[in-house]
Structure 1
Amino acid sequence: MTGKIESGQLCTVEPIADPTTLAVGEIVLCKVNGNEYLHLVKAVQGARFQIGNNRGLINGWVGSNAIYGRCVKVEP
């Protein structure tokens, strides 16, 4: 399975005013262990979000303070 976004593609990310609007399946820009990544939201549990990739791997849980924005556009 290939990624939803390939390396080098231009992405537009918008800030999230209200993290409670995030839903499973959305692509978010988040900080994990000091690095910034685009990840899929896999589950939501209150103010925590489980993030992972399109290949079925789960990277763990982050708080809403670690999510910077929502991907709203990917250039081909």
Structure 2
Amino acid sequence: MHYKPFPIPVVEIFPHILNGIVEKEITLNDIGRVRCQGISWRARLHQPELANSILPGEVISVIGRENNTLLVLPEAS
């Protein structure tokens, strides 16, 4: 029996920061959802030490992606 290996996560850091809006809360342990450029994406905190969670309606900065999940930070005030 042959098993396929798990795919290696592909992480890409974008050259320019994008903005988005949180649709489903993002926490340290849970992937949420954001709307960026008119599309709803899965999203996770890139640097969890900056925030424990980001609530729906909050503006975020999208700095990259890991496979089909966006890497986000709370927007700087």
Calculate the TM-score normalised by the size of structure 2.
0.33
Which structure ranks higher in relative contact order (CA pairs < 8 Å, sequence separation ≥ 6)? Answer: 1
What TM-score, normalized to structure 1? 0.34
